């Protein structure tokens, strides 16, 4: 920027009409240039003189009358205010505290309700788990009891064994029957299909072509079962053992399909 550019900005500077950037630039230059400072002083004196010597203008009577008439008309036409004065009411401290207390009580109630629901769900889960554990313990105890009885049966002198062969209706099924000299028998099956609703498997002792009914039993999900029964005396030495599917309460004579036979 040339020195002439600074000089052209001085008049506007004296009237405070420069923008912030030009004002800052010229102020920096004035600190360094005595000539421009003198010219600025002259401009400031000129501005002050013009302002001091200015003669105030007095309106003519006609203009003054028109102004007053307009003011009076505006005053008359001003509509009545519909603003309702605001009355500040003092807050009741106890009322505020009561409201806060009600809110706190509501929040506490909700929290207690949620906590109760969570406890109930946890209790249900624990009870379900306990029921499962009880069932497992019961089944384990049953299995141990059966294994103990089998061991005792096998250890008895004179215990006999018979193996039952699968029929075409259940080719994967197997069964073994062990009985002692008193006729106390234990039958063990594996791979039998799950019996339909209302049905069960029934053991038969067949002597001379005549079947004698034994007990009924069901199987687990693997087709396994163990049942104790008593062999009739007449069937101790020459019986054929068979298993059929019958009504769950058993029948005196076979009516269903034969699944296994010795």
Q: Are residues 174 and 114 in the same domain?
A: no
Is the pLDDT at 128 greater than 60, yes or no?
A: yes
Output the domain CATH number for residue 172. 2.60.40
pTM for the full predicted model:
0.51
Most confident of 91-95, 107-111, 118-122, 176-180: 176-180
pLDDT value, residue 170: 95
Residue 46's domain spans which residues?
Answer: 1-74
Write down the mean pLDDT value for the chain: 83
**Statement: residue 8 has pLDDT above 90:** no
Q: Does 25 reside within a domain? A: yes
For the chain, the domain total comes to 3
CATH of the domain at 28: 1.10.10.1320
Has residue 31 been placed in a domain? Answer: yes
Tell whether 164 and 150 lie within a shared domain: no
Q: 63 in a domain, yes or no?
A: yes
Give the CB-side neighbour count of residue 257, counting CA atoms within 13 A: 11
pLDDT of residue 44 exceeding 90:
no
């Amino acid at each position: 920027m040339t020195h002439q550019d600074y000089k052209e900005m001085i008049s506007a500077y004296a009237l405070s009409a420069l923008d912030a950037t030009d004002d800052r630039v010229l102020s920096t230059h004035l600190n360094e240039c005595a000539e421009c400072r003198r010219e600025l002083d002259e401009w400031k004196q000129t501005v002050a003189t013009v302002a001091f010597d200015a003669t105030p203008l007095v309106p003519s009577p006609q203009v003054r009358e028109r102004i007053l008439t307009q003011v009076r008309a505006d005053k008359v036409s001003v509509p009545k205010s519909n603003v309702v004065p605001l009355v500040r009411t003092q807050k009741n401290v106890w009322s505020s505290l009561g409201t806060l207390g009600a809110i706190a009580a509501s929040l506490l109630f909700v929290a207690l309700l949620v906590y109760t629901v969570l406890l109930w769900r946890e209790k249900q889960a624990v009870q379900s788990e306990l029921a499962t554990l009880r069932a497992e313990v019961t089944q384990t105890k049953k299995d141990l009891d059966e294994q103990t009885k089998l061991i005792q049966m096998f250890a008895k002198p004179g215990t006999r064994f018979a193996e039952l062969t699968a029929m075409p209706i259940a080719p994967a099924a197997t069964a073994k029957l062990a009985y002692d000299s008193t006729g106390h028998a234990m039958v063990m099956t594996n791979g039998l299909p799950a019996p339909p609703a209302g049905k069960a498997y029934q053991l038969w002792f067949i002597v001379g072509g005549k079947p004698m009914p034994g007990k009924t039993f069901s199987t687990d999900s693997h087709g396994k079962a163990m049942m104790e029964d008593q062999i009739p005396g007449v069937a101790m030495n020459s019986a054929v053992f068979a298993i059929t599917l019958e009504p769950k309460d058993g029948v005196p004579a076979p009516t269903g399909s034969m699944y296994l036979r010795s």
